[in-house]
Amino acid sequence: MNIIVLAKHAPDPESEINVASDGKSVDERGLVFDINDWDRYAIEEAIRIKEEKGGEVVVVGVGSKCDDTLRKCLAMGADRAIKIPVDTSLDAYQTAEVIKEAIKDENFDLILAGMMSQDLNNAQVGVLVAAMLDLPFATAVTELQVEDGNLRVKRELEGGYHEEVTLPTPCVVTVQSGINEPRYVSIMGIKRAKTKGMKEVSVSPTTSTLEVEKMYLPPVKKAEMIEGDASEVAQKLIEILKDRGLI
Amino acid sequence: MRIFVVAEHRMNELNPISIEMLNLANTLKGDGTSEAVVIGKDTNAFAEELAKYADVVWKIEDDSLENYNPELYVDVLMQLFANNKPDLVLIANTSSGSEFAPYLAAKLSAPLATDVVGVDTTEGLKVSRYLFQGKLMTDLKLKDAETYVLTIRQGVFKEGTEANGEVKDAGIKPSKEPARKFVQYIEPEVGEVDITQADVIVAIGRGIDDESNVELAEELAELLGGVVAGSRPVIDNGWLPKDRQVGISGKIVKPKLYLALGISGAFQHVMGMKDSELIIAVNKDSEAPIFGVAHYGIVGDIFEVVPELVEKLNEIKG
């Protein structure tokens, strides 16, 4: 089974998030970039399928600075990488468009991606690629079985429920976090990755559908903040719990 | 504006987000109309309920539409929209809504924004949405177009007025067999503890760092007569079983005390615990969205605060 994995090089939401001086973008200082967490599960799932069924795993990244993430995927076990050195900012449509263009000569059975990116949380690219290629698709997948010419997947619904669906290949599947336990990159993997190919494909997006007007910190803060050292705040918490009859 | 709202239902229940989207449609429509679309096998009961809040309700019924299927949803919606051109289509930002909305938008060549929490139509179409799991917000202008598609976050547009509109049968049937087939629903896993019944919940998030630290939360929970639950990262890592997950895709809880330790407060999680009677959050990041829903907040290290708390509770208990 030949699998294309879409992997985004994305800032970690746990790193320092500030608005840049233009008021329309994120200040890159303080951001720590890595493979998008959901895509880490997607690449792991692809490698597991390959290990069981054979075939090839090709990882695709968009962005001028996505090399580290592509190399990480190669070190985990992907066979080769396609880099699309285009910075598409916030517009998922553009991202999907350049991916569609870059993979048009690839022969694949499955496109796997994370269900969303950890920075933009759009959850659009995978499905947009499916729409542009007229492929069947399923999102938020938490379990995937390969059958003869078919996939049987479990999709996450609300309230702990799931639905089981089948779809024929070729198709597009986006995975939910927790679908597997992604492997760590080994020293051997890193060595092997150096011999693997990374092809650059230059494609220009034609459409832009969104324009950022403003970026800002959300207006929150309603909690009453308790200050002091650990012992002091613990004491204050005890008092609050006592007042409420909770202890 | 002519605004279409795609209603959401599953297992014979209408999702309240359907009404919330109609509330939004009614505030935006101006001289236009709010029109609900309900797709299913037998949609009469839902159509009646939706008609209270919509000017028009379109029923699209067929045996093959009994369970949600993204290909069939897009197929019948494209047929409806061919003769009834929407200015704006609203879809729920849920598991199924967020799945078919991008596909529909692409087929309509419509600009799309997902997980929207604010809409402004005074000058073209502008939306507000969160980034970075709630840590940042952005206002976006969508490119001028004949039709836009938005997915709407649940719980935002709760207030609205009634419209008492009419129900119409759209007379539309799916035009094809879908490639993807529904097999079955799978019930939630049942574990040894039902966290929805607990008075006290000690909830842990990514900040717990390692499986070996779960013990600390268990100790605290035991002293408070409560149970340990977790947010998504803790469950994904296998540090707690799936039935201990609080959030939209897990359990909705309303305990007397919800103590959130190292939980940043992504929307997914907050929707599962925001109605708790008392929420206390400890997080090292002063900007963590959890402080927006907590009653009391502590910016600090859980590995310093919790042991102090455990010690003091032990003293009280003697």
Identify which of A178, A215, A226 has the shortest CB distance to residue B136: A215
**Quick one: CA dihedral A229, A231, A234, A240, positive or negative?**
negative
- The residue among B75, B68, B120, B113 whose CA lies nearest residue B93 is B113
Contacts of A223 in chain B (CB under 8 A): 279, 281, 291-297
CA distance A148 to A146: 7
Can you give the residue ranges of every domain in chain A? 3-212
Please, where in chain B does CATH 3.40.50.620 lie? 2-169
Size of interface A-B (CB pairs under 8 A): 254
Put simply, whether B231 touches A (Cβ < 8 Å) is no
Q: pLDDT tens per residue, chain A (247 residues)?
A: 999 999 999 999 989 999 999 999 999 998 999 999 999 999 999 999 999 999 999 999 999 999 999 999 999 999 999 999 998 877 899 999 999 999 999 999 999 999 999 999 999 999 999 999 999 999 999 999 999 889 999 999 999 999 999 999 999 999 999 999 999 999 999 999 999 999 999 998 887 889 999 999 987 768 999 999 999 999 999 999 999 999 9
**Residue B57: its H or E element:** strand B56-61
Q: What distance in Å separates the CA atoms of residue A57 and residue A50, rounded to the nearest whole number?
A: 7
Q: Which of B116, B103, B24 is nearest to B69 (CA)?
A: B103
Which residue carries 């009280």 as its tokens?
A: B316
- Let me know: does A193 contact B114? Beta carbons within 8 Å: no
Alpha helices in B44-96 (DSSP H): 44-51, 70-83
Residue A145 contacts B, CB cutoff 8 Å? no
| pLDDT tens-place string over residues B250-299 | 999 999 999 999 999 999 999 999 999 999 999 999 989 999 999 999 99
Q: Is B236 an 8 Å CB contact of chain A?
A: yes
Three-point CA angle B274, B279, B282, nearest 5°: 115
Number of CB atoms found within 10 A of residue A188's CB: 9
Verify whether the Cβ–Cβ distance B95 to A157 is below 8 Å: yes
Give the one of B112, B137, B186 whose C-beta lies nearest to A218's C-beta. Answer: B137
Domain at A3-212, CATH class: alpha beta
Q: Is 90 exceeded by the pLDDT of residue B132?
A: yes
Going by pLDDT thresholds of 50, 70 and 90, the confidence category of residue B190 is confident
Residue B192's pLDDT is what?
Answer: 86
Considering only CB atoms, B95 lies closest to which of A130, A156, A213, namely A156
Task: Say yes or no for a CB contact (<8 Å) between A168 and B179.
Answer: yes
> Tell me, what DSSP letter sits at residue B25?
H
CA B7/CA B124 separation, integer angstroms = 25
Q: Which two tokens stand for residue B50?
A: 């939706």
- Average pLDDT taken over every residue of chain B: 97
| CA dist., res. A130 & res. A99, Å (int) | 11
Give ranges for CATH 3.40.50.1220 in chain B: 195-317
* Nearest neighbour of B95 by CB, restricted to A155, A168, A225: A155
CA separation for the pair A148, A220 (Å, rounded): 51
Parallel/antiparallel/unpaired status of strands B9-10 and B13-14: antiparallel
Q: Which of B102, B180, B296 sits opposite A136 (nearest CB)?
A: B180
Contact B229, B240 (CB under 8 A): yes
Bridge partners of A81?
A59, A198
Q: Count CB atoms within 10 A of the CB of residue A30.
A: 11
Q: Is the pTM of this model over 0.90?
A: yes
User: What is the band of B191 on the pLDDT scale with cuts at 50, 70, 90?
Assistant: confident
Cβ distance B141 to A211 less than 8 Å, yes or no, reads yes
Domain B2-169 fold: Rossmann fold (3.40.50)
Window 169-228 of A, Cβ < 8 Å to B? 171, 177-178, 181, 208-218, 220-226
Place of tokens 């599947």: A173
Q: Is B313 on the interface with A (CB under 8 A)?
A: yes
| Any B CB within 8 A of A113 CB | no
Measure CB to CB from residue B280 to each of A90, A128, A237 and give the nearest one: A237
Q: How far is B164 from chain A (nearest CA, A)?
A: 29
A116: nearest Cα among A156, A161, A64: A156
Instruction: State whether B181 and A246 contact (CB < 8 Å).
Output: no
User: Is B195-317 a CATH 3.40.50.1220 domain?
Assistant: yes
Q: Do B232 and A178 touch (CB under 8 A)?
A: yes
Q: How far is A155 from chain B (nearest CA, A)?
A: 8
